[in-house]
Amino acid sequence: MSDHNTLGEILRERGVSRRGFLKFCTATASMMALPPTMTMAVAEALEKAPRPSVIWLSFQECTGCTESLTRSHAPTIESLIFDHVSLDYHHTLQAASGDAAEAAREEAMHAHHGKYLLVVDGSIPLGDPGFSTIAGISNLDMLKETAEGAAAIIAVGTCAAFGGLPHAAPNPTGAVSVSDIIKDKPIVNVSGCPPIPSVITGVLAHFLTFGGLPELDQYGRPMVFFGQSIHDRCYRRPFYDKGLFAETFDDEGARKGWCLYRLGCKGPMTYNACATMKWNQGTSWPIESGHGCLGCSEPDFWDAGGFYKALSIPTSDLAGAIGTGLGVGAAVGIAAGAMAHKKKTDAEHEREPLTVEQLEGES
């Protein structure tokens, strides 16, 4: 397969019909969280999209991000997009090893200088270069050397994006993120532990389709996937609004699917696409399985005060007050509704929302 083939040509070579191509574009637009009206624009751009060279570097990581991408169901839109890129270097996936592997990286860097996409998973240790090396090269040196000729960098996973688990207190290796080191290249952070596979390929698809990186939020994450909080898109949100919370993992509230806020759900401070894109072929996601969000796509989530500690707790028992009100009749129920609303408003005023920094200070 020629490196100069466009995606349209590659799919036609595989015998994919125009209808098939448009179906592919429909799913790609959906994966990129674009409105369905953009399907034809995506088709036009993908038809002419060249095959980009991708160098994937893995530093202090657990391979969970690569697993997330490659273990997704196949063949999929994800795998078609992933197959389309020329993956010239990836420790885990490449057949070559040792000198031959490093030669492949250098060859790709020279042949596609200024045009290749650099994907990084894992954090970079600054404490001692010996903590993590590849072919005798420190992670720091390899990142700097490879980033120099990259068109753009995708930091995949919370480790590459924000330091992640290696960065957790007391951070023994002095782990930092890609953007802590590289300052002169466009970087997109695809955080998550691991990120949703469709989000990783959605960013790749965006680069293929539009030749650049998507609009980013304050943490350098693509707005289309990280623009709304888990809480705002959660199907359990109506229970939060009514003040109905599960207090333990096996109480009546848990069985009825009430809000998991009091069980430590980090949905209100977490921005990710889990609530709509879900996991395992769209089967489910943590909150649908009855467990609160861990906030894994946020900086320093590991040190955010404990997975089962609520971000902040209203000072009165709102759910109990509502239950009593509804138990004695409709008229009183309406009054209880008004009371609940007042209590909720009061509680909101009395709450002292905690930031991650404050929680860190407590521990």
- Give residues in contact with other proteins (CB under 8 A): 16-20, 22-24, 26-27, 29-30, 33, 35-37, 73-77, 233-239, 255-257, 275-277, 281-282, 288
Considering the complex, what minimum distance in angstroms separates the CB of residue 46 from other proteins?
Answer: 14
Closer residue to other proteins in complex, CB, 112/231: 231
Between the CA atoms of 324, 327, 332 and 338, what dihedral angle is there, to the nearest 10 degrees?
Answer: 50
- Cβ-based nearer residue to other proteins, 6 or 94: 6
Residue 314 Cβ vs other proteins, minimum distance, rounded to whole Å = 22
Q: Which is nearer to other proteins, 257 or 323 (CB)?
A: 257
Measured from the CB of residue 50, what is the shortest distance to other proteins in angstroms?
A: 21
Helix, coil or strand: residue 286: coil
- Closer of 255 and 342 to other proteins (Cβ): 255
Angle between helices 318-327 and 330-350 (to 10 degrees): 170
Beta-strand pair 137-138/133-134? antiparallel
H/E/C letters for each residue in 293-331?
Answer: CCCCCCCCHHHCCCCCCCCCCCCCCHHHHHHHHHHCCHH
Residue 85 is given by DSSP the state S
Looking at beta carbons only, is 211 or 238 nearer to other proteins? 238
Joined tokens for residue 297: 């796509």
Question: Which CB, 176 or 244, lies closer to other proteins?
Answer: 244
**How far are the Cα atoms of 118, 123, 141, 178, 349 from residue 57, in angstroms, in the given order?**
8, 11, 12, 11, 47
Provide, rounded to whole angstroms, the least separation between the CB of residue 113 and other proteins. Answer: 35
According to DSSP, the β-strands at 133-134 and 86-90 are unpaired
Quote the least distance from Cβ 34 to other proteins, whole Å.
Answer: 9
76 vs 312, beta carbon nearer other proteins: 76
Smallest gap from Cβ 280 to other proteins, in A, equals: 10
Least CB distance from residue 60 to other proteins, whole Å? 33
CB atoms within 10 A of CB 138: 19
Residue 164 CB partners (closer than 8 Å, separation 6+): 123, 157, 158, 175, 193, 302
Helix residue ranges, H only, 175-317: 178-181, 197-210, 223-226, 230-233, 237-242, 252-255, 274-277
